[in-house]
Amino acid sequence: MSLESASRATLLQKITELEAQIESGICSPQLQKVQKKVDDLLQLAHMGIWTLDRRGQVLFVSPEGAQMLGQLPEKILGRSFFELIPSLDQSRIRQELLYGTATEKKLEFELNHWLGNRIHLAAQVLPLIVDGNLAGYQLVCFDLTESYRNRQNLAQSEARWQALVEQSPNLIISLDRDLKINFMNPAVSALDPAVWTGCSVLDLFKDLGQRAVALHKMETAWSTGFGSRFNLHFNPNQEVEIDFEIRAVPGTCEGRVTSVTLTGIDVTAYNSALKHLSEAKLDAEVAAQAKTNFLANMGHELRTPLNGILGVAQLLLLDPYLRGEKREWVKIIQDSGESLLDILRNVLDLSRIDADRLHPRIQIFETQEVGAKLERLFKVAATQAGLSLKCSLDPELPKFLLGDPFMLDQVLTNLIGNAIKFTKKGGVEYKIKRLEGDGDQCLVRFEVLDQGQGIAESQFEAIFEPFRQVDQGITRNHQGAGLGLAIAQKLVGLMGGKLQMESELEVGSRFWFELPFKIETTQMDPPLVFP
């Protein structure tokens, strides 16, 4: 018998004793006290007393019983008790109450509340016997509405939880304190819950190392209440291998660990993808190294005959008797050879950058010489193209800086060369300006502006990709492999900056980047200059 049932039985016994005292003819003052005790007990126990005749007509209802329905007793007296029961239950209750054996029994049923809702009652049914015949029934009713709703909510919650667990794609295992499986969902076809329930979870771990780790993690969860993660490689047969990432989740009650649940995510496909990715990465690295080695060797093999061709062309051009059309042919050979040699250098530089074999070589250089060297290099080309070439050097620039002058020169040479190549009229300007500095550090901006054809904004990203050229306007009229800006961008990145641009069609373009340098104050003798 439950505690709730025992309490009801005790209350019924007390009420019966008090009613017996009333029937024994106690004097009026005592009767009032006894009646008050009965009323107090009924109210305290949330009990309602109903008296029915043999047909189920209500002869008496206590105030507590009427209050359960939101009614006054006089509104209920004389009515059929079955009218108060929802229609679906009327037949069942009538059968159990009127046509059952005339013995004490227990019933559970619902009654319609005055407000339209329903209340759930448990009733102790006592037959009323007069002169040996059944005269009616007395019902002692307990309001279990709240308890009933709680049970319903709990049952629904358990059903939802059960459905979620059963349908979950993740493995879920509940363990007892001995690490035996008392529940396993059917998420993994290779793990039959009927087979594994009652077994030790450690039997899942065939690898002794994994078993030791899992045992430690689960015991830690039991003893500390903290969850943990570990891996399980499950191999039920030679054809099936499954990798799980397991999480041990302790369940606590009043601060004490009462259960541990394992949730497992199948990471077999993920691990397989990682393995294939690692293998592909290794293959790519091997292929990249092979490409770098090939380009290095091929570059050497190509440069040797190219230098021979250029050398012979230069010797032929020294011959004063080589004139006219033949001299033009030799110049074409020389120009083509130099263009091919420049492309070869770019390809080799790009391969060295991609292989992480090209790094800045830090040394002292003179800032004024940077601008002077560029002017010497491009003045003739700009004049021949009918363009002005302007150099703007910030007077606040330190005289000497620490950096890689040759890498810097390669970037600026490419930017200014492109500016002259793609500008038909107007001019080209390059600026070197000190932005800020603190102590022996400073930030320098390098900027190249032209009044050329310009580049559409949709092509900004494409021009920095290797072997890409803008496919519109003037750009396709010039030779080149499309490597210059790609290399320049990578070189600027190696030096600690970022190559940026802005451009407008038919207006011109602006390329710039900013680099950090250390200021060198040591007297150089002689100063380092560009070749």
Q: Give tens-digit pLDDT for 328-366.
A: 888 888 877 877 777 777 777 777 777 677 788 899 999
- 10 Å CB burial of residue 39 (0-12, 13-18, 19+) is middle
B/e letters for 212-242, b = 16+ CB within 10 Å, e = fewer, are ebbeebbebbbeeeeebebbbebeeeeeeeb
Task: Enumerate the H helices of 127-187 as residue ranges.
Answer: 145-167
> What angle do helix axes 484-494 and 324-354 make, rounded to 10 degrees?
40
pLDDT at 32: 52
Mean pLDDT of 252-263: 84
Mean pLDDT of 404-410: 89
Most confident of 62-71, 100-109, 460-469: 62-71
pTM for the full model? 0.46
Identify which has the larger pLDDT, 167 or 135.
135
Choose among 101, 51, 46, 42: nearest CA to 68. Answer: 46
Q: pLDDT, tens digit, for every residue of 76-121?
A: 999 999 999 998 888 888 888 887 667 888 999 999 998 889 999 9
Name the phi and psi angles at 522, rounded to 5.
-70, 140
pLDDT at 529: 46
Q: Give the position of tokens 């606040």.
A: 396
pLDDT at 135: 87
Contact between 450 and 419 under an 8 Å Cβ cutoff? The reply is: yes
Q: How many residues in the chain?
A: 531
Q: pLDDT, tens digit, for every residue of 34-55?
A: 445 555 555 555 688 899 998 9
- Express as a percent the part of the chain with pLDDT over 70: 84
Q: Is the pLDDT score of 33 beyond 60?
A: no
Contacts of 47 (CB under 8 A, 6+ apart): 11, 15, 41, 62, 64, 65, 140, 141, 142
pLDDT at 473: 43
Choose among 443, 434, 444, 430: nearest CA to 371. Answer: 430
Contact between 141 and 60 under an 8 Å Cβ cutoff? The reply is: no
Strands, sheet with 118-130, edge to edge from the N-terminal-most edge strand: 58-61, 47-53, 133-143, 118-130, 105-112
Contacts of 192 (CB under 8 A, 6+ apart): 186
CA-to-CA distance for 432 and 32, rounded, in angstroms? 111
Structure token digits, residue 116: 């339209």
Mean pLDDT of 221-236: 80
The upper half-sphere exposure of residue 281, i.e. CA atoms within 13 Å in the direction of its Cβ, equals 6
- Of the pLDDT bands very low, low, confident and very high (cuts 50, 70, 90), residue 222 is confident
pLDDT at 39: 55
Identify which has the larger pLDDT, 1 or 314.
314
Mean pLDDT of 297-316: 81
Mean pLDDT of 240-253: 83
Identify which has the larger pLDDT, 248 or 6.
248
Identify which has the larger pLDDT, 510 or 100.
510
Choose among 92, 97, 91, 102: nearest CA to 56. Answer: 97
Tell me the average pLDDT of the chain.
Answer: 81
